[in-house]
Amino acid sequence: MHRLGKEVALVSVATAVPPFALEQDDVAARVRAQFSRSEVVQRLMPVFNTTGIRRRYSCVPFDWYYDPQSWPQRNAVYLESAQALLEQAARAALERAEVQARDVGAVVVVSTTGIATPSLDARLLAPLGLPQTVRRLPIFGLGCVGGAIGLARAAMMAEAVRPAPVLLLVVELCALWFRRDDVSKSNIVATALFGDGAAAAVLCAGGDGPRVQASGEYTFPDTLDVMGWDVTGDGLSAIFSRDIPQLVQTQFQPVIDAYLAESQLTRADVDVFLSHPGGTKVLDALESAYGLAPGSLVDSRAVLAEYGNMSAVTLLFVLERALREGALAQASWRRALLSAMGPGFTAAFVTLER
């Protein structure tokens, strides 16, 4: 665990989605037609109805997916779209925080759905007007846990560069990697779950907003094959284990209790739980592990329904919704716990205090 001095504030959060909305019923119909000769896929089709998702967003239109796409073609779309979405989210977050880009002391960028060298933060310096002396931290490979770990690293950077603000940028374009000839269960589940989006946050030591009190991580042993990407000739292929909800159900509670205990806290001391919505089964398992009534993770479920699973980005969408109209918009909360899980297999936590 890393415990902060209660001076680092989450000053603002902003989100952005690409222009193409994918209605879940439409996606399901197209997948059913695309794989009409595959009995395996036809048996998997109910997953589109059980995800709890109504709509997602994509940086490319439906027709793009019907043509063969090479690694270079997919990554070129990633670079262009990721930069545009991050610029949009960053400008909104800076404006809400009343921070000038030229005053930013560090920028942290999290993404796992494309390759960028120079990294996305370097590509955004000129468009955003960030200083040439800004400290840069690009982070790759975290997948769905990246929102929580990115927030934690940005808070640590805010301590290091105080009083300058830190800009956190997270973008994932998961839908780019749909594989039109892949009948594996992982590809179909990924197609039913994943969408595209970006988010930005401003953190500052001494700023106004909820305080980042602590952060921590736990990597479960012997779980490297639970989640991740396989690199193939034409792109990235999703790896999912059917055991993720069971792992959360049976092993998550002792981990979260140990994390809280390091701050002399228990789950009873947490007023608001905000979790990355990996899927409805994972949310069910998390509610059980937290000792919550079914359906209690309202902000997480609402984001999943409207945007799908956007990997690392999703937790920041949950956080933004909670601050704007959800649990953190209420005057009664005192302490909130953010959590996410991703490749490693790793759980990450961030504690916010009012």
What string of pLDDT tens digits covers the 354 residues of the chain? 566 656 899 999 999 999 999 999 999 888 888 888 788 788 888 888 888 899 999 999 988 988 888 889 999 999 999 999 999 999 999 999 999 999 999 999 999 999 999 999 999 999 999 999 999 999 999 999 999 999 999 999 999 999 999 999 999 999 988 877 777 777 888 888 999 999 999 999 988 999 999 999 999 998 888 777 778 777 777 777 667 777 887 889 999 999 999 999 999 999 999 999 988 988 999 999 999 999 999 999 999 999 999 999 999 999 999 999 999 998 889 999 999 999 988 999 999 999
Q: Which CATH number fits domain 211-353: 1.10.760.10, 3.40.47.10, 1.10.3720.10, 3.40.50.620?
A: 3.40.47.10
pLDDT value for 36: 80
Spatial separation of the C-alpha atoms in residues 117 and 78, rounded to whole Å: 12
Please check whether the domain covering 2-205 is classified as CATH 2.30.30.90: no
Spatial separation of the C-alpha atoms in residues 319 and 13, rounded to whole Å: 8
For 295, the enclosing helix (H) or strand (E) is none
**Radius of gyration of the chain measured on its C-alpha atoms:** 19
DSSP conformational letter for 291: T
Burial class from Cβ neighbours inside 10 Å (0-12, 13-18, 19+) for residue 113 reads buried
Would you say 172 and 196 are in contact if contact means Cβ atoms under 8 Å apart?
A: yes
CA torsion through residues 279, 281, 282, 286, sign: positive
pLDDT value for 84: 98
Spatial separation of the C-alpha atoms in residues 148 and 193, rounded to whole Å: 20
Residues of the chain with CATH 3.40.47.10: 2-205, 211-353
The two three-digit tokens of residue 23, written as one number: 């209605």
Residue 59 among the catalytic residues: no
Look at the pTM and tell me if it is higher than 0.75: yes
Spatial separation of the C-alpha atoms in residues 236 and 176, rounded to whole Å: 9
Exactly one of 59, 144, 174, 204 is catalytic; name it: 144
Task: State in Å, rounded, how far the first CA of the chain is from the last one.
Answer: 20
